[in-house]
Amino acid sequence: MDKIVTPHIAVTVPKSIKWSDYEKELFAACSDQTLNYKVKHFPECLIPGKSKCFIVHEGLVKGFMHVSGLSEKQFTCTTTGKQWHGKFIERTGRFYPTVGEYRMAGQILCGYVVK
């Protein structure tokens, strides 16, 4: 039997952002808005619609969202009003919180889960 390999990514929310404030953005993503995570280059391993984006805050994995797209664009953040331009990993839809507490040190740009 062949193994199915799915690429995933973990991104870190800056410590300067309170988790309660970030939850507001997660709620907006459930209402058809897109969350963007700026990157210098697109990770080649990600597959929009299949890859998961794990969210890390203060060293804890809080949960995940599905990667909905990869795009190069410019936009104004509807939450902060800040202008952004560059390459972004896009996420939209439901946030799946972790059950239990999982610590993460360092950074994973692309990891694989084998089923």
> In the chain, what percentage of residues exceed pLDDT 90?
49
Tens-digit pLDDT profile for residues 59-83: 999 999 999 999 999 999 877 788 9
Measured between alpha carbons, how far apart are the two ends of the chain, in Å?
A: 11
Assign residue 37 the CATH number of its domain.
2.30.130
Q: pLDDT grade, residue 56 (50/70/90)?
A: very high
The number of distinct structural domains making up the chain is: 1
* Structure confidence at residue 114 (pLDDT): 45
Residue 61: how many CB atoms within 10 A of its CB?
A: 17
User: What is the span of the domain harbouring residue 15?
Assistant: 5-114
pLDDT, tens digit (0-9, with 9 covering 90-100), for 76-112 = 987 778 899 999 999 999 999 988 778 876 555 555 5
- pLDDT at residue 86, as a whole number: 97
Report residue 88 as tokens.
């972004």
